[in-house]
Amino acid sequence: MRASDGLPTISEIKTPESGFSPLTWVLYGEWPPAAAARLAQRLTRWRRKPWRFGSTVIAIRHADIVELLRRDLDFLIGPVNEERIVAVNGPFVLGMDRSPVLAKERGALYSALGAVDLGAARRDLLERAATRRDKLGGSFDAIADFARPLAAETASRLFGIAPEDKALFAEVARAIFAHTFLNVSGDKTIENRALKAAVAMKHWFSNEIVRRRASGELGDDFMGQLLRQGQLDDDGVRRTLGGMFVGSIDTTVTAVAKILHVAMADAGLAAAIVARWKSGTDIYGYCLDVLRRWPHNPVVVRSAANDTTLAGQQVKAGDRVVAWTQAGMLDPGAFPDPKRTLPERPLGSYLHFGEGLHPCAGRAVNSFQIPILVAILLEAGVERTGSMKWAGPFPDRLPVRVKGARS
| b/e burial code for range 247-258 (CB count within 10 A of at least 16 → b) | bbbbbbbbbbbb
User: Which CB, 285 or 354, lies closer to ligand HEM?
Assistant: 354
Q: How far is the CB of 329 from ligand HEM (least distance, A)?
A: 12
Residues within window 273-332 making contact with ligand HEM, judged by CB under 6 A: 296-297, 300
Contact with ligand HEM (CB under 6 A) among 176, 365, 380, 388: 365
The 222-261 contact track toward ligand HEM, x by CB under 6 A, reads: ---------------------xx--xx--xx--x------
Q: How far is the CB of 4 from ligand HEM (least distance, A)?
A: 32
User: Which CB, 60 or 402, lies closer to ligand HEM?
Assistant: 60
Q: How far is the CB of 72 from ligand HEM (least distance, A)?
A: 10
User: Which CB, 178 or 361, lies closer to ligand HEM?
Assistant: 361
Contact 80, 302 (CB under 8 A): yes
User: Which CB, 228 or 363, lies closer to ligand HEM?
Assistant: 363
Q: Which stretch binds ligand HEM (CB under 6 A): 127-135, 171-179, 359-367, 375-383?
A: 359-367
Q: How far is the CB of 19 from ligand HEM (least distance, A)?
A: 23
| b/e burial code for range 196-207 (CB count within 10 A of at least 16 → b) | bbbbbbbbbbbe
User: Which CB, 121 or 190, lies closer to ligand HEM?
Assistant: 121
Q: How far is the CB of 247 from ligand HEM (least distance, A)?
A: 4
Q: How far is the CB of 401 from ligand HEM (least distance, A)?
A: 25
Kindly state whether residue 142 participates in binding ligand HEM, applying the rule CB under 6 A.
Answer: no
| Residue 378 to residue 364: CA distance in whole angstroms | 22
User: Which CB, 123 or 213, lies closer to ligand HEM?
Assistant: 123
Contact with ligand HEM (CB under 6 A) among 89, 183, 313, 366: 366
User: Which CB, 13 or 93, lies closer to ligand HEM?
Assistant: 93
Strand pairing report for 308-310 and 313-315: antiparallel
Kindly state whether residue 75 participates in binding ligand HEM, applying the rule CB under 6 A.
Answer: no
Kindly state whether residue 108 participates in binding ligand HEM, applying the rule CB under 6 A.
Answer: no
Is the backbone of residue 292 left (phi > 0), alpha (psi -120 to 50) or beta? alpha
Kindly state whether residue 84 participates in binding ligand HEM, applying the rule CB under 6 A.
Answer: no
Contact with ligand HEM (CB under 6 A) among 206, 303, 360, 384: 360
Q: Which residues contact 39 (CB under 8 A, 6 or more apart)?
A: none
Contact 227, 108 (CB under 8 A): no
Contact 77, 181 (CB under 8 A): no
Q: How far is the CB of 106 from ligand HEM (least distance, A)?
A: 6
Residues within window 339-358 making contact with ligand HEM, judged by CB under 6 A: 352-354, 358
Kindly state whether residue 160 participates in binding ligand HEM, applying the rule CB under 6 A.
Answer: no
* Backbone Cα Rg of the chain: 21
| Residue 88 to residue 109: CA distance in whole angstroms | 19
User: Which CB, 338 or 395, lies closer to ligand HEM?
Assistant: 395
The amino acid at residue 40 is: A
Kindly state whether residue 93 participates in binding ligand HEM, applying the rule CB under 6 A.
Answer: yes
Q: How far is the CB of 248 from ligand HEM (least distance, A)?
A: 4
The amino acid at residue 203 is: H
Closest CB to ligand HEM: residue number: 362
Number of residues that bind ligand HEM (CB under 6 A): 23
User: Which CB, 232 or 300, lies closer to ligand HEM?
Assistant: 300
Q: Contact positions toward ligand HEM, by CB under 6 A?
A: 77, 93-94, 106, 243-244, 247-248, 251-252, 255, 296-297, 300, 352-354, 358, 360-362, 365-366
